[in-house]
Structure 1
Amino acid sequence: MPNFSNLFQKLLYSAGAILCFGAYLITQVAFTFPKSQLTTGRIIISILIACLCLLAIWKSYSYMLSKQNKWDFSPIFKTDGKSLLYALGGFILIIIVQLLVISIGGTNTSTNQETLSKLMGKTSPMFYVMLSFIAPICEEIIFRGIFFEIFFTTPSKRNLILGALVNGLLFGAAHDLHFDIFFIDYCFTGMVFSFLYLRTKNISTSVFAHMANNLLALLI
């Protein structure tokens, strides 16, 4: 007999995930404007929107953890030596794979990176702030935190491996739908972030690795 209560919960959480992603998209729009429109008022509005969206996304994640937390994830955003070491290791692994992708892809870049490069040339510095700090937090809470409260909720080696694989595919599809070498790169990156989260039980680990990856992409 189907568990309708569990099914309803998954549908409710899925709807919450969609709303959180919508809030994240609103934040992206709020930080994407021309340099000529960079005013104190515009900066304040963008920051307020970001704070509200981040609060809504974090509250949704916290609520899900309070109702179901079989993996024993940390309910707070904490930083310790273990998390930083795992984040550094994950970041280095991602860089190694990205260098391999560059050697195979040559001078080509992903569609996502081309779009970002065009926007960075036209938008204000606020866009850099969004990419470096806000995007990693939002994406990790949604793609890792909330995802594993809906799918693969029972701790096991099978769910760790299969969950990281499916999550990586979802992350890759969200960043590049051309299914080329760059799609594989994004999938692998998503899988690494998933492993960091599942291994340390701490969302801050994948957030720091994600921030480092985005910052490096901006610097080069």
Structure 2
Amino acid sequence: MKRGCPMATYLKRQVIRIIAFIVLLIIYLINSRQLTTATGYAKSNPGLATKYIGIMLMTMAVILALFAWLYRRQLQQGNPHHFKKRPFTTKSILQLFGFFIGMLAVQVLWSQLIVHHILPMPTNQSEVNAQALQLPFWNNFYSVVAAPVFEEFIFRGFFFNFFFAKNNRWSVFFGILISGCIFGFLHTLSFSVTTLFYSGLGWILAGCYLHFKDIRYDMALHFMNNLWSIL
């Protein structure tokens, strides 16, 4: 019996993984779009806005259950990086704050470049701020609580399980590099200097994930970063 071409099999598997990754991303974007729709009706039709909020919360619960189940299933099938729940200790919490300080340093540097008119203000940040004013509680809730969970599952958890599962130097290096670049691009939907800013934050988050090997640390770091940005 003839065996299939290894290269063809590999390419087919990668295409399936890319499609699966895109589908998971679309699921998350649909949920966030429900909040955008609710925000659009916040002033003109509060009742309809409330209905969309309810739909968003129900959808969020279903997606969270789906993502958590799929992530655990992936790790059960193959886990060369040895990702798992690890206890929070004084040392690990201090290290987590070290990553947080790194993210703050990137943002402070970037803000100074903007203040001194060396770099432009990110257009998407202005849009986010304007949207938050229409429906402040739910937009801030989504930004601080929901987005960190969903984005860490997608850009770190699923991404490394799909494409960079091997536990070696080059897999780790390119995994962090590409994960951050995708994270940056999807926050700007363009290739600009601002993309580099978000990519830098993505690289720190990816480094955090591979350092602690526990996605809860990454979610906590993302949570702290987003909370700081609205304070």
| TM band (smaller chain) | 0.7 to 0.9
The number of aligned residues is 217
Contact 1:171 1:190 in 2 (8 A): yes
SS at match of 1:31: helix
Q: 1:10 aligns with which of 11, 14, 37?
A: 14
Report the counterpart of residue 70 of structure 2 in structure 1: 60
Report the counterpart of residue 91 of structure 1 in structure 2: 100
Q: Does 2:219 correspond to 1:207?
A: yes
Cα deviation for residue 31 of structure 1 reads 2.4
Report the counterpart of residue 134 of structure 1 in structure 2: 146
Cα deviation for residue 177 of structure 1 reads 4.2
SS at match of 1:153: coil
Q: Percent identity?
A: 27
SS at match of 1:148: helix
| AA in 2 matched with 1:86 | Q
SS at match of 2:6: coil
| Structure having greater relative contact order (Cα 8 Å, sep ≥ 6) | 1
Counterparts of 1:16 and 1:60, CA distance in 2: 11
| AA in 1 matched with 2:122 | S
Q: Which range is displaced more, 1-10 or 134-143?
A: 1-10
* 1:96-147 residue CA offsets vs partner (Å, 9 max, x unmatched): 1111111112264212211211211223521211111111110110000011
Cα deviation for residue 196 of structure 1 reads 0.6
Counterparts of 2:51 and 2:181, CA distance in 1: 39
Counterparts of 2:73 and 2:11, CA distance in 1: 17
Cα deviation for residue 166 of structure 1 reads 1.4
What is the TM-score with the length of structure 2 in the denominator? 0.83
Q: Which range is displaced more, 23-32 or 178-187?
A: 178-187
Q: Does 2:194 correspond to 1:186?
A: no
Contact 1:133 1:211 in 2 (8 A): yes
Counterparts of 2:186 and 2:224, CA distance in 1: 20
Equivalent residues in 2 for 1:65-80, closer than 5 Å: 65-74=75-84, 80=88
Report the counterpart of residue 170 of structure 1 in structure 2: 182
* 1:131-183 residue CA offsets vs partner (Å, 9 max, x unmatched): 11111110110000011012222111222222211111111111124544422
Counterparts of 2:56 and 2:164, CA distance in 1: 35
Structure 1 residues 104 and 181: CA distance shift in structure 2, 3 A: farther
Report the counterpart of residue 25 of structure 2 in structure 1: 21
Counterparts of 1:9 and 1:69, CA distance in 2: 17
SS at match of 1:125: helix
Structure 1, gaps ≥5 residues long: none
Equivalent residues in 2 for 1:113-128, closer than 5 Å: 113-128=125-140
| AA in 1 matched with 2:179 | N
Contact 2:35 2:52 in 1 (8 A): no
State the structure with more CA Rg: 2
